[in-house]
Amino acid sequence: MATVIFFEDKDCQDNTLQKAALRAAGHEVVVRDLLAYVWSAHELYAFLRTHPIVEWFDPEAPRVKSGEIAPAWIDAGSALRLLLEDPGLIRRPLLQVNDRREVGFDYEAIDAWIGLRGPVARPGTTPDGCGA
């Protein structure tokens, strides 16, 4: 089983379900507060780099929902600056196992990566979001 570093928003119910799914599969979950963590651009980019820019952003973040920020129209440098300035915009959770880092909680991808056994309670809003 894996040790998963899990960067969360402590108020996110979906993150609670996701941690429970990981623990039920036998993984050790080390929780960190995504919003309080002091990110460097290099460190945050390591979680995001393999995903399209639009997937870097929490679609339920108020500034994204209102249209103030349109992730589909932002370049990587600008997106990274916005996320560093306002960590509440970051899609969660951020996951790290050894040297691999990922953003979001796609149940099938996590299962293929480190394994999720048995039936898993899934949030009702988005595959990896907190909903509003």
Residues marked active site are found at 12
CA distance 47 to 55: 11
Q: Which amino acid is at 13?
A: Q
C-alpha distances in Å from residue 59, one per residue of 6, 66, 92, 128: 19, 10, 10, 10
Extract the runs of DSSP E, i.e. beta strands, from the chain.
Answer: 3-8, 28-33, 94-97, 100-103
Neighbours of 9 (CB within 10 A): 18
